[in-house]
Chains A and B, each alone.
Chain A
């Protein structure tokens, strides 16, 4: 019996087509895995099923009935529950209170029956296979324990359709085993479970069928007994015609940055090096530790072990000013949050990291600043009415160029670019790529983090793939293919 079916779902956000026609069928009594690269559209699909986002077109059918307008409340009444990687619980309330709030009737003036509430919480936790005291405050629970509470809530809500988004990302092997027992029990009870995970071996263990998403489309649905991991990977990367990248071979010089057995909060034993004129692509899934590695190199996260060497000698980087002093630049991932100061003028943003160059004794030389900004605006082809326009008034692509311009102003030896073209229009994207090539040609060593495989393959001289905080492998430009990179990222090399 089909519990849920989504047919030809499409959705775009601000002109970007996130889903281009996705179909998914979930049967009663099955665990249905959903796999795909970063940005393939898994999260958007889930948001549409749970009513958090409205689709532009397509039909959603639950137990044979077409859902006209999905909303979170309606999804709940249809028996759809989702457990996300980051549990959505009230941290200052107890487990029993959290479960009670979710399950008991509404009404501001009703009296709380504490005995019944505690009893219900205990019973549900037991059915979820957990040994958690219902009177504990949620803030004192570990991440896996919080997930179990979410699952208990879903069981309590008599959810027929349970969506688990990367539930095992932070679990130990033993906890995974326990979770799987709960999932199997739910499945055998006739529920349908949508299971999102990057761990293919796990999917092979727990799931019955798998649907592969790529670039906002559902590519295939396969029975797990009939599909090899290699085929799944092939389905995930597809055979897209490679976009044209302005990559140019430039002479590669001496090693500029070398990292030996680096350890920090989320990275373990990372070693790699980058040379003058080289673009090192850093691939991996979201959460593999790439951004954390960049933040460690830029002094935002303390080094816990290993060493960073620049031009052959060991350096200590304890803060961003240290990194800037050593001529390391960092273009952060979230431009809106960290890349530029939106309220400030374009010229002020561009001169920010190089205030020393445009000021004397702390006094800003307006003329020097204007000349610097003019040069960078021309060089990067920033489309702006004026050098003194508010940066927030520019388009995303142009904001990104302003952010990049700031680092060009100090001409770093090493430039770390974290998702430099994410959320940027096609035109700006190609201009930013062009810029990267020119910078490499001038002898800069570039580390480019990207979740977009074609970008990684198209722009990098060498590719390091991260997985679970470690470098899972390195590939030269010649030997890299989408399949090989993804296999390393997924741990199937």
Chain B
């Protein structure tokens, strides 16, 4: 899976290198990376959620609220780090609502997060009346640093988070517990794990990470739109799925997701550079997602066939 993904990315890169070498200009690369940073950070949370067999389609709405919250707190005069922390807390709180409804009330996560997606987005629209947060204090933008310094901070933080989550999933007991919960919640329970707590926790973590991503995104602009993060959930889930994270839970890695994100991230700009209409972007993304899940389904079926046959004992 990862090898075919890497090959696909390489193929796109080679085509671009020949047809549009300017794609690899430093400025373009930097823009591309920065634009994808929020997606990357939210994807780290989404991987955890999907690994436990759940899904969170409300991250886009959470992102919008966290962005606006960060701006409003900064506007109120809170120092930028505190405003950022408050935004993360807001994200964690929204994640806790999702998590509690899924884990402890027992509502399917697709239903819970569909409801919170709509409710949070429209609640925000109602509160802000669609207005953007303007007149941000000067030390908010770029964290009060130079633009370059701020960009470096962003990339370093995102990279640290990525390495941290990836390493944690492999080396921490908590990571094992996430995989076990997603693979087989009953077996996990019999091993002394509390699957409900695990599910609750991954939603909270995803909320907090979404807040984090929102802050890093907000500081790049003069003003904060109240409709930020539209469609973010799709990008994030697509990256995870293309990266080989099983939607049924229990299987997948951060590394794979990052490759998925990379492929989906370069496809759009690549099309533009090659002179295709931007309208093709979404269609091709959809095609890639279908191809990835189909390949995965075929692989799982061929592998588990023998097991199903031998299990048929009355």
- A interface vs B, CB < 8 Å? 13-14, 16, 18, 43-44, 47, 53, 298, 300, 319-321, 323-324, 330, 332, 336-344, 348, 352-353, 355-356, 359, 362-364, 366, 392, 396, 406, 423
Contact = CB atoms under 8 A, between A and B. Distances in A.
B171 A344 contact: no
Contacts of A13: 312-314
A44 B307 contact: no
A298 B190 CA distance: 8
Contacts of A337: 184, 186-187
Q: Report, nearest first, the 3 A-B pairs whose CB atoms are least far apart.
A: A324-B192, A355-B173, A13-B313
A366 to B, nearest CB: 8
Nearest to B186: A338
A53 B312 CA distance: 11
A247 B188 CA distance: 32
Nearest to A352: B191
B314 A44 contact: yes
Nearest to A358: B173
Given A47-B314, A324-B192, A344-B179, 6 more contacts: A14-B309, A18-B314, A53-B314, A330-B190, A342-B184, A392-B304
Given A320-B190, A352-B180, A363-B171, A336 B250 contact: no
Nearest to A330: B190
28 contacts: A13-B313, A14-B312, A18-B313, A18-B314, A53-B314, A300-B190, A319-B194, A320-B189, A321-B192, A330-B190, A332-B190, A337-B186, A338-B184, A339-B187, A339-B190, A341-B179, A341-B180, A341-B183, A342-B184, A343-B183, A344-B179, A344-B180, A352-B180, A356-B173, A359-B172, A363-B171, A364-B171, A364-B176
A362 B172 contact: yes
Contacts of B183: 341-344
B196 to A, nearest CB: 11
Nearest to B309: A14
B174 interface: yes
Contacts of A406: 191
Interface string B247-258: 000110000000
A410 to B, nearest CB: 9
Contacts of A396: 310
A60 B313 CA distance: 22
Majority SS of interface residues in chain B? helix
Contacts of B172: 359, 362-364
A484 B183 CA distance: 43
B246 to A, nearest CB: 9
A353 B192 contact: yes
Given A320-B192, A353-B192, A423-B313, A362 B174 contact: yes
A70 to B, nearest CB: 16
Contacts of B187: 337-341
Contacts of A342: 183-184, 307
A340 B183 CA distance: 10
B298 interface: no
Nearest to A298: B190
Nearest to B306: A393
Contacts of A356: 173
B176 A343 contact: no
Nearest to B312: A13
Interface in B296-314: 304, 307, 309-314
Contacts of B314: 13, 18, 43-44, 47, 53
A359 B192 contact: no
A338 B190 contact: yes
Contacts of A364: 171-173, 176
Contacts of A298: 190
Interface string B166-184: 0000011110110110011
B189 A300 contact: yes
A322 to B, nearest CB: 9
Contacts of B189: 300, 320
Interface string B185-209: 0111111101000000000000000
Most buried by A among B183, B186, B187: B187
B104 to A, nearest CB: 15
A466 B64 CA distance: 60
B173 A343 contact: no
B242 to A, nearest CB: 20
A404 to B, nearest CB: 13
A396 B183 CA distance: 18
Interface string B223-267: 000000000000000000000000000110000000000000000
A393 to B, nearest CB: 9
Contacts of B174: 362
A352 B312 contact: no
Contacts of A355: 173, 176-177
Contacts of B309: 14
Contacts of A359: 172-173
Nearest to B313: A13
Contacts of A340: 187
B189 to A, nearest CB: 6
Interface in B142-186: 171-174, 176-177, 179-180, 183-184, 186
A339 B177 CA distance: 15
B192 A343 contact: no
A205 to B, nearest CB: 29
B303 to A, nearest CB: 8
B64 to A, nearest CB: 34
A362 B173 contact: yes
B126 to A, nearest CB: 38
Contacts of A336: 311
B190 to A, nearest CB: 5
B176 to A, nearest CB: 6
A39 B186 CA distance: 26
Most buried by B among A323, A324, A352: A352
Contacts of B171: 363-364, 366
B250 A341 contact: yes
Nearest to A43: B314
Nearest to A337: B186
B235 to A, nearest CB: 27
A43 B190 CA distance: 29
A293 B149 CA distance: 64
Contacts of A14: 309-310, 312-313
A44 to B, nearest CB: 5
A341 to B, nearest CB: 4
Contacts of B177: 355
A226 B304 CA distance: 52
B275 to A, nearest CB: 44
B273 to A, nearest CB: 40
B251 A343 contact: yes
Most buried by B among A18, A324, A338, A353: A338
Contacts of B251: 343
Nearest to B181: A341
A352 B176 contact: yes
Interface string B40-51: 000000000000
Most buried by B among A47, A324, A340, A341: A341
Given A363-B172, A364-B176, A320 B307 contact: no
Nearest to A423: B313
A343 B250 contact: yes
